[in-house]
Structure 1
Amino acid sequence: MTTETWLALVAGALLGAGFLAFTRWRAERKRAQANTLVPHRTREVLAALHSGAILVRRDRRAAFSNTPASALGVTRPDGALHPGVADLAEIAWAADAEREDDIVVSRGVLGVDSVVHVRVTPLSDDLALAVANDDTERHAAELTRREFAVNVSHELKTPVGALSLLAETIEDNPDDSEMVRSFAKKIRKESRRLTKLIQEIIEISRLQGGESVVDHHELSLAGVIEEVCEGAEMHAESKHVNLVADIRTRPLVMGDHDLLVMAVRNLVDNAISYSDDSANVTVSLETEAGAAVLKVIDAGIGIERADQDRIFERFYRVDAARSRSTGGTGLGLSIVKHVVLQHSGTVDVWSKPGVGSTFTIRLTAHQEEQ
């Protein structure tokens, strides 16, 4: 090997070593600067917070961030910062005052959007503290409340408007006794529907507030079915529907008697209302793998597959015209869902148009009734 080649190799080695040493020096210098910028005790305090905490630098990067901040997706361990946080920090520095806002963050491989509330407080010309919290559930709850208020006002307008119109017509024609009698029946029907709607709105508001099931006690699910079937006899007879209670076992469950009666009654009333004359409606009860399985089976009009995913939504009606004619409010199945959820159970539906529907409730069975 020639002298020139040896010299070239040595020079290359020296250059490589020098570059590596320079790189390490820069990294150490940055680490030292960061430690000087964010003292160790400050890091310990921020790391202990449940909220996301980020110390934002002027260069739109994080001088420090804790684990919750990374979990929220507003920063990365390498110091990269979500643009929304960096923009909010610049606004706070410009105003020399605290600023807060909601930013939308896409997280995970599926890119699911979440809403993160961020509050930025300038600490100096070089640093600002950003505190982040997941606000997705609160936003969803607020949206649900707004939709609920709109739906309630819409649903109340129909019976109230009908009552007002009927009353005006009777007032204008007081001498037409036949018309007065006919309209009086309609007023009574609308009044009953309005009363039922208001009662169900109150019930579902209580259920969604999680305040209803406060005192669980052991009760007979068979007794609930027997009580519901006895109360629904008159409705079934008026529709010429054969209502059958098929109780194969008598499991005991932990729950609220009145709420379970309300849930089962809603299912049975629906089954009767949407069945043709002379049809059968069966309420069955059995025990499977430690679960009490209650089914309400009808041979009614059935539900299209596209509607089955939505029938437990509030105010959702498969057939709005028929629902109103039967006195339905669109809240019954939503109440059933919330009652069952509060009892740590499940409710699902099988249905086929022209064949019928089967609603199944599963609750944990504790033992058999003696």
Structure 2
Amino acid sequence: MGYRASGPGGLTSVVAMETGWLVLLSVALGLAVGAGFVILLHMAERRGNNAVTVVSSAVPDGVDQVIDALDSAGLVLDPSNNVVKSSAKAYTYGLVVNQLLVHEEILEIVARVRSTGESVSEEVTLARGPFGEASIHLDVQAARLGSRYVLVLAEDRTDAYRLEEVRRDFIANISHELKTPIGAIALLAEALDPASDDPEQVRRFAKRMGTEATRLSQITREIIELSRLQSTDILAAAVRIDLDEVVASAVDQNHVVADARGMTLAVGGAKHVQVMGDEALLTLAINNLIANAVQYSPDGSRVGIGVHHDEGVVELVVTDQGIGIPDEDLPRVFERFFRVDQARSRNTGGTGLGLSIVKHVVQNHGGDIRAWSQIGQGSTFTIRLPEAPPASALPQGEKR
């Protein structure tokens, strides 16, 4: 030990001192180990908390409110492509089922965003519903949202595609409709010269030319009328109209044809019912309905025109005893250029625009039109319009 005890008492003192040092050393070592263990536990806890924060971090602040306020489809995807937030339209469009994005086309866009980090904007066409019977056209935009999420926005462009399709069909139809009378007039004009020595032939060709010119003029007039109806707000300049006068004028325009075929135009129902609108256009609409009823009804039959009103709704009904319309064609009768009987319509001078004009006139007056028909029994067309409020209910200066 480096020293020597001088006796029994000295040896005892040395042993006691060594024992004390050992105890102090053990205590210090225990404290150091305990402190280290506590530090390790604290670090482990902090690391665990950080991991939990990473795993369970919520969508960035404000995104929830933005998604809820969207009028289009919006959704947020986590790294596993689970939908953690979505707007109501995302379900309406059929994009989300059970919190999953169900369309591969959009998932491919999301994958590109994750791999490149760049935003993607693309138009996609998807099946609407599980059976794929109809399509929906979407303008899809996808971008990173923070480091983990992807934001997807989808705007429905189906109506724009449908309007473009209608425009193309309209141009194709109008080209076909105009080609027929123009071609007929050209051929008749060519035939006139060789027939110049035959007065009877000249008169016959001239009469045919007049018929085709009248038909061409009617098509042109109705196309212009349709264009005006689509570009004008009728209700902005609406005046109070008595339907008695409108019905009487429309019936008068069809009396000559009806009388020539021994047909009866019977008017009934409520009197002095008033609506707000354009008198000339409403007369045109009712005239078209009556003319159709006369055109497709047998000689000696009856066409009924009635007006009814109840609880602020006016119904104007035109009923015939004609050939009727097949069930499969009934939903299409208001389409431009649609004819139930193509050959008969052309022979009778129909353009296929009459009912389309009626529909647009009625819609521009804030109403709707319905059709019922049975083969061999006849058809009924019902126009529904808002009844004009009492003059006393209108603000001063609007009592027209």
The alignment's TM-score, normalised by the length of structure 1, stands at 0.78
Supply the AA of the counterpart residue of 2:206. Answer: A
Q: How many residues align?
A: 344
- Compared CA separation, residues 112 and 302, structure 1 to 2 (3 A): closer
Alignment of 1:206-355 (within 5 A): 206-209=228-231, 211-355=233-377
Equivalent residues of 2:285, 2:357 under 8 A apart: yes
Change (3 A) 1:128 1:349: closer
Residue 33 to residue 224, structure 1, CA distance change in 2 (3 Å) = same
- Give the counterpart letter for 2:107 in structure 1: A
Deviations 1:311-360 (A, max 9, x none): 22222212222211221111111222222233233323343344333322
1:94-243 to 2 correspondence within 5 Å? 96=118, 98-107=120-129, 113-121=135-143, 128-209=150-231, 211-243=233-265
How far residue 300 of structure 1 moved from its aligned partner, in angstroms, is: 2.9
State how far apart, in whole Å, the 1-side matches of 2:48 and 2:188 are: 85
- Of 73-82 and 310-319, the range deviating more from structure 2: 73-82
Change (3 A) 1:28 1:262: farther
Cα distance between partner residues in 2 of 1:70 and 1:352: 40
Distance across 2 between alignment mates of 1:138 and 1:39: 34
2:95 aligns with 74
Give the aligned residue type for 1:323. Answer: S
Q: For residue 111 of structure 2, what is the amino acid of its counterpart?
A: E
1:156-208 alpha-carbon deviations (Å, 9 max, x no partner): 22112212221222244433332222111111111111111122222233334
Residues in 2 aligned to 1:191 and 1:107: alpha-carbon distance in whole angstroms: 49
Which residue does the alignment assign to 1:85? 106
Aligned partner (choices 61, 74, 83) of residue 53 of structure 1? 74
**Which residue, 381, 384, 391 being the options, matches 1:359?**
381
Q: Which amino acid aligns with 1:53?
A: G
- For each residue in 1:122-165, what CA deviation from the matched residue of structure 2 results, as whole angstroms up to 9, or x when unmatched? 67886554321122222222222222222222222211221222
Give 2:103's aligned amino acid.
Answer: H
TM-score, length-scaled by structure 2: 0.73
- The answer as to 2:57 corresponding to 1:35 is yes
Provide the C-alpha distance between the structure 1 equivalents of 2:48 and 2:345, rounded to a whole number of angstroms. Answer: 74
Q: Deviations over 1:52-76 (max 9, x none)?
A: 3345566544565455445444346
Q: Which has the larger radius of gyration?
A: 2
- The alignment's C-alpha RMSD in Å is 3.6
Structure 1 unmatched ranges of 5 or more: 1-24
State the AA in 2 paired with 1:84.
E
In structure 2, the CA distance between the partners of 1:321 and 1:51, relative to structure 1 (3 Å rule), is closer
User: Retained in 2: the 8 A contact 1:61–1:86?
Assistant: no
